[in-house]
Amino acid sequence: MEILLAILIGSLYTAGVYMLLRRSILKFIIGIIFISNATNLLVFMSSGLVKGNPPFTAPDGTPLEQTADPLNQALVLTAIVIGLGVVAYTLALKYKFFELTKTDDLDELKQTEEV
Amino acid sequence: MINVLVLILLLSLSLLFFKGTLKKQMANVIAVFQAGLFAYIAYLYLNNGNIQESFDWISALNLSFVFNLDGISFIFSMLITGIGALVFIYARYYMKKYERTTPFYIYLTLFSGAMLGIVFSGNLIQLFVFWELTSVLSFLLITFFHEKERARKAAFQGLFITLMGGLAMLGGIILIGSVVDSYNIHDWTQNADAIKNSELYTAGLILILVGIFTKSAQFPFHFWLPGAMEAPTPVSSFLHSATMVKAGFFLLLRLHPSLGGTPEWFYILSTAGAITMFIGVYFAILRTEIKSVLAYTTINALGVLTLLMGIDTFLSVKAAILFLIIHAFYKATLFMVAGVIDKSTGTKLFANLGGLRKEMPLVFIFTLLATLSMAGLPPMLGFLGKELIYEAKINIPEASNFILIIGVASNILLVAVSVLFTYKIFIKKPAHKVEIKSKPNINGLIGPGILVILSLIFGLFPQLLGGNIINDALSNVFENYTPVKLKLWHGFNTVFFLSLFTVIAGFIVALLIIKFEKITFYWNKFNERILLFRFTDVFVKAIDSFVSISRKKDKIVQHGYHRYYLLSIFLLTSVLLWSQFFETRSWIFNIDNDKNSFYILIVIVITILASILAMFSNKRLATIAILGVSGYGIALIYLYYSAVDLAITQILVETVVVVLFVIVLQKLPRFAKLSNWKIKVRDLAIALIFGTVMGLLALKATEVNFDSSLYDFYSENSYLQGFGKNVVNVILVDFRGLDTFGEVIVLAIAALGVSVLLSKPKKKKV
Amino acid sequence: MNLNILQYAEKPIRWLLIIISIVALLRGHNYPGGGFIGGLLAGLAIVFQSLAYDVETVRKKMKLSPQSFIGIGLAIAAISLLPSIIGGAELMQAYWVKLQITESYVLKLGTPLIFDIGIFFSVIGIVLMFIFNLSK
C-alpha cells in the first residue's frame, strides 16, 4: 500500500509542479494546493501508516499501544488550515492583479511600474 | 563597569525628551555626565585596583559578558571620558548654529559608551560587537552634513573599510578562538604558547591585524581618515584623533600577551607602522587645509604607535602609551582650535588665513603650545614622548637602522609641519585681511585650554603620569615588567643629539618652504609623478566595478520571469535529491503484503487519476471539481489511516477552498492558453522528474525510524496532564498551544490581508 | 443565484450545522473535533446561507462583523493565557477546575477549553472574511 501512496504523492507533486510552471495564475494557485496536499501526505506518511487505531487514549485515560503518531497529525492539521489561508490570500492577490491588469498572464508581473 | 554602560545608554535615550533650556544646554549636561563618569572610574580604579565583572550570555557557546578594568583600560577610559567631557563642552560652542543636534548628541554619547565597551571588554566577541558599533556610529556622525555629497561618500568609505576590516578581525578571532576554545582574553593569555605554536597563528594574526589596521588607518587602509574630516569638528577631535582610531592600538596592547613577541608580529607591525608614519607626515606637509593637515599628522601618529608596538620592548611600549596620551592631548587641542578658527573666520584654507595672533591671542598661545608638543620640543609632554621614541628605536634588539632613519626623517617633517601650521595661521601676513566674524566664547576655549595646560604640567612633572598609571598598564602588557623611569632631561647622549638634529633640520625645512614658495609647487609636481595612483580612486573604482558586475549578474539571474525562478528551484532540488538517491542506491524497499481493503485502493487510484486529469483539463470548473475530488480523496486516506481529526479538517477546508474558487471564478476569465506544446512537454518533464523523486522520498520516509520518545510522551501524558483523550487535540491546545495561537494569528493576518487587498479605495474628494 | 429550495432548506440546515459545530468544539478534547473543526463547520453554515441568498444580504444580516469574530476569538484565546501568567507557571500551563456533577461524572473545565473556544471564534471570522471579501 505504501507504494501506491508513494505514487499518489509523486503524481500530486507532478501535477502541482506542472501547474506552478504555467503562466496562468489560476493554475498556479491550483498548483499550490496540489503541492501542499502532497506535502501534507508526505509528512503524514513519514510516521508510518497505522490502520484503524487513531491516537486516542482508552476511555479511562490510559494510553493505548500501537496507535498512530499524534504528533504528525497535529502538524498536518495545522498545515491544512494554514494552507487554506495561503490559498485565500493568493486568490485575493490574483483577483486584485486581474482587476488592475485585466490579464491572467504571470509574465505581466515582470513590470514593476504602477499600472 | 556594566553600570557605566547602562547609564550612558539611559542618558542617550533620555536626550530625546529634552526640551527648552535643557535642550539648549544638552551638550553641557552630557559633559557634566562624562566628567562624573571620569571621576567614578578613577575612584573605582584607584581604590580597588583591577576589577572584573562577568555575566552569562550564551552559555551554550561558553560565552559570557566580561568587563574588566585594569591598567590599560583605565588609561583609555580616562581619555574617553575626560576628552569626551571637554569635547561636549566644546560642541556646545561649535554646534550652536545647527539643526538636528539631538540625534548628533545621542550618537556621540552612544559612541563614548561603545568606546568604553571596547576598552572594558574581556571577551573578544563582545569586544567585536562594540567595535562594529563604533564604526556604525562614526558613519552616522560623519554624515551629519548629509546634504554634502562629499560627506556621504567619505562616510561610506570609512564605514565600508572599517566594517570589512571588522569582518576580517572576527574571522581571526574565531580562528584563534578555535585553538584555545575560548574567546576570553584571559584564556588567550594563559594559552599564549599554544596559540603561537598552532598552525592557525599566522592566518589569525594577519586577519586580526587587518581589522586593527583598518580601524587605526594604517597603510594601506589609511585613506579613509582624511575623508572622515568631513564630520563636524567635535567628532574629528573625539573619534578621529583621540579615541576611535586608537582602538586598534588598544587591541594591540590587549593582545600583545597572547599574540605578540613573534617575528611575524615584529615584521608586520613595524613595516606597516613605519610606512604609515612616514606617508602620514609626508602628505601632511603639502596640505592646504587645516583639518586635512591634522588628519595626516594623525595618520603619522597612529603609525608611530603601531611601529612602537612592533618594536616590542619595555621601553617602546612605554613610549607608545605615553605617546598615546600626548597625542590625544595635543591633537584634540589642535582640532578644537581648527574648529574655532573655522567658526571665527569662515575658512579652513591656509591661503585665506594669516596674522591671527593679534586678534586671537589666547588661541594663538594654545596652538603654539600644542604644536610645540607635536614637534616634540621641551618643555611640553611631546618632548618626553619623542625622546622615549628615539631611545626605543635606538635600542631595538634587531638593530634596524632603517627604522631609525625613517623615524628621524618623519620627525623632521613633523617639526616642519608644526612650524608651518602655526606660521600660516597666526604669523604670516595674510593675502587679504582676515575678517573675524565672531569671537569664540568660553565654551570654545575651555577644552583646548585645559588640554594644553595639562600637557604642560605633565611635561614638567612626568612622574605624575609615569609613576603608577603607565607602569600599571605596562604590567598588564608584559608579564615580568620592570619599571622604567620618566625624566624630562636625559643628559647629552645620542638621543639628545638626534633630537637636536631633528629640530634644527625641521626648522630649516619649514624656513625653506616659507622663503621659496616654488618648492611646494615643484614638490606637488614631483608627487604627482611618483604616485601612480591614489588610494581613494582605487577604492571608488573597485566599488563601482563591483556594482556593475552585480548589475550584470542581476540581469541574468533576476530576469523577472516567475516561472523560470520556480523552474530553477525545482530542477536544482531534483538534482540534489536524485544524487542523494544515487548515493544510497543500495537501499531496497521491502514490500509487505498486508491485506488492504478494496475501497482504499479505489480511493487512492481515483485520487491519482484526479491529479493527472487536473494537469490537462482546460475547463475551469472541471479543474475545480477535480481539485475537490483529489482533496476529498486525501481526506478519505487520512480517515483510513487513523487520522480522524485530519480527515474532518481536510474535508471542511477543501469545501471552503472549492467555494472560494467558485466565487472567484465567476469574476475571472477563462484559463489563458499561453504556452505552446514544446514548453508544455519541457515543464511536464521537469514535473515528472520532481514528482518521481518525491514519491521515492515518500517511500524512503516510511523506512525511517523516528525517535519514539515524543510519541510516548504525548500518549502517556495526554490524559494525565492534559485531561483529554484526543491526543491530537491535546497537543494542539495544550502541549503546543502557543504554536496554535501563533497559527491563528497568522490566519487572522491573512484574512486582514485579503480584506485590505480587496477593499475598494475610497474616492478622494477633489 | 436565488434558489428557492435552498432558501427554504437553508434555515434548519444552518442551525443544524451550528449545533454540530458547537458539539464538535466542546467534545473536541476527548473525541474527534475541536476548535478548528468546529469553527470551519460554523463558518460553512454561514457560507451555506450566503449560497442560498447572496453574500451581501447575509453580510448585512449578520450582527457581528467577521473582524469582530476574529477579535473576540483572539481575545478569548489570550485570556486563556492569563491564569498561567498570573500563576507564575510556564506560559500556557493548563489550569483545570473539576466539578462533581453526578457521582460518576466529573466535569472538567480548563483553560485549554477556553483556548479552543477562542480558536473556534477566530476561525469562523477568518472563513467569513475570506468568503465575504472574495465575493465582493
Which tens digit of pLDDT belongs to each residue from B694-705? 998 888 887 776
How does pLDDT run across B412-470, given as a tens digit for each residue?
Answer: 888 888 888 888 888 877 777 777 777 778 888 888 888 888 888 887 777 777 667 77
Domain boundaries, given as residue ranges, for chain B: 1-260, 270-460+504-515, 710-756
pLDDT at B766: 47
pLDDT at B592: 60
CA–CA distance, B457 with B355 (Å, rounded to integer): 28
Work out the average pLDDT over B184-211.
89
Which of B430 and C78 is assigned the larger pLDDT? C78
pLDDT at A113 over 60: no
Residue of C nearest to B655 (CA): C44
Report chain A residues whose CB lies below 8 A from the CB of C134: 88, 91-92, 95
C-beta of residue B474 within 8 angstroms of C-beta of residue B314: yes
Q: What percent of chain B has pLDDT over 70?
A: 94
Residue of A nearest to C128 (CA): A88
Cβ separation B726–C29 shorter than 8 A: yes
How does pLDDT run across B129-144, given as a tens digit for each residue?
Answer: 999 999 999 998 888 8
Which of B16-25, B39-48, B160-169, B582-591 shows the highest mean pLDDT? B160-169
pLDDT at B274: 87
Residue C106 pLDDT class (50, 70, 90 cuts) = low
Residue-by-residue DSSP string for A41-91: HHHHHHT---SS--SB--TTSPPPTTPPPHHHHHHHHHHHHHHHHHHHHHH
* Phi then psi dihedrals of residue C98, to 5 deg: -110, 125
Cβ separation C66–B751 shorter than 8 A: yes
pLDDT at B354: 77
pLDDT at B48 over 80: yes
pLDDT at C47: 86
Work out the average pLDDT over B33-53.
87
How does pLDDT run across B353-412, given as a tens digit for each residue?
Answer: 877 777 888 888 888 888 888 887 776 767 777 777 777 777 666 656 777 888 888 888
pLDDT at B575 over 60: yes
Cβ separation A91–C123 shorter than 8 A: no
Work out the average pLDDT over A18-46.
89
How does pLDDT run across B716-744, given as a tens digit for each residue?
Answer: 877 777 778 888 888 888 888 888 899 99
pLDDT at B730: 84
Which value, to the nearest 10 degrees, does the dihedral of the CA atoms of residues B187, B189, B191, B195 take? 110
pLDDT at A115: 43
Work out the average pLDDT over B237-243.
85
Question: In sequence order, what are the residues at sequence separation of 6 or more whose Cβ sits closer than 8 angstroms to the Cβ of residue B63?
Answer: B57, B123, B125, B126, B183
Residue of C nearest to B758 (CA): C133
- Domains of chain A (ranges; CATH) run 2-50+70-110 (1.10.287.3510)
pLDDT at B307 over 70: yes
Name the β-bridge partners of B184.
B123
Which residue's entry shows cell 498570573? C86
pLDDT at B212: 92
Question: In sequence order, what are the residues at sequence separation of 6 or more whose Cβ sits closer than 8 angstroms to the Cβ of residue B601?
Answer: A4
pLDDT at B52: 85
Work out the average pLDDT over A39-64.
83
C82 in contact with chain B, both atoms CB, cutoff 8 A:
no
Cβ separation C36–A92 shorter than 8 A: no
pLDDT at A80 over 90: yes
Q: Which of B36-40, B388-392, B655-659, B664-668 has the least mean pLDDT? A: B388-392
Grid cell listed for B546: 563591483
Which of B234 and B673 is assigned the larger pLDDT? B234
CA–CA distance, A90 with B224 (Å, rounded to integer): 49
Which of C104 and C44 is assigned the larger pLDDT? C44
Which of B50 and B608 is assigned the larger pLDDT? B608
CA–CA distance, B3 with B601 (Å, rounded to integer): 71
pLDDT at A69: 84
pLDDT at A16 over 90: yes
Which subunits sit against C, judged by 3+ Cβ pairs under 8 A? A, B
Q: Which of B655, B734, B744 sits opposite C74 (nearest CB)?
A: B744
pLDDT at A56: 83
Query: Residue A105 has what DSSP assignment?
Result: B
pLDDT at B115: 92
pLDDT at C85: 77
Report chain C residues whose CB lies below 8 A from the CB of B638: none
Q: Which of C31, C34, C122 sits opposite B748 (nearest CB)?
A: C122
Work out the average pLDDT over B321-341.
88
Residues 608 through 647 of chain B touching chain A, CB cutoff 8 Å: 608, 611-612, 614-615, 620, 623-624, 627, 630-631, 634, 637-638, 640-646
pLDDT at B608: 92
Which of B617-621, C41-45, C55-59 shows the highest mean pLDDT? C41-45
Q: Which of A22, A77, A83 sits opposite B645 (nearest CB)?
A: A77
pLDDT at B687: 92
Name the β-bridge partners of C100.
C106
CA–CA distance, C115 with C107 (Å, rounded to integer): 17
Q: What percent of chain B has pLDDT over 90?
A: 18
Under an 8 Å CB criterion, which residues of B touch C?
Answer: 644-645, 648-649, 652-653, 655-656, 659-660, 663-664, 721-726, 729-730, 732-734, 737-738, 740-741, 744-745, 747-748, 750-752, 754-755, 757-760
pLDDT at B674 over 70: no
Nearest-neighbour CA in chain A from B702: distance (Å): 5
Work out the average pLDDT over B7-30.
83
How does pLDDT run across B118-174, given as a tens digit for each residue?
Answer: 999 988 999 999 999 999 999 988 888 888 888 888 888 889 999 999 999 999 999
A85 in contact with chain C, both atoms CB, cutoff 8 A:
yes
A82 in contact with chain C, both atoms CB, cutoff 8 A:
no
How does pLDDT run across B173-182, given as a tens digit for each residue?
Answer: 999 988 888 8
pLDDT at B650: 93
Query: SS3 for B121?
Result: strand
Buried b (16+ CB within 10 A) or exposed e, B162-189: bbebbbbbbbbbbbbbebbebbbbebbb
pLDDT at A114 over 60: no
Residue A22 backbone class (left: φ over 0; alpha: ψ -120 to 50; beta: rest):
beta
How does pLDDT run across C3-46, given as a tens digit for each residue?
Answer: 577 778 888 888 999 999 999 888 888 888 888 999 999 999 98
Residue of A nearest to C33 (CA): A77
Residue B672 backbone class (left: φ over 0; alpha: ψ -120 to 50; beta: rest):
beta
B-C contacts at Cβ under 8 angstroms: 127
Q: pTM above the 0.90 mark?
A: no
pLDDT at B192 over 90: no
Grid cell listed for B419: 612650524
pLDDT at A79 over 70: yes
Cβ separation A85–B750 shorter than 8 A: yes
Q: What is the mean pLDDT of chain B?
A: 84
Name the β-bridge partners of C107.
C99
pLDDT at B376: 79
pLDDT at B558: 76
Query: Residue B52 has what DSSP assignment?
Result: E
pLDDT at B619: 83
pLDDT at C92 over 70: no
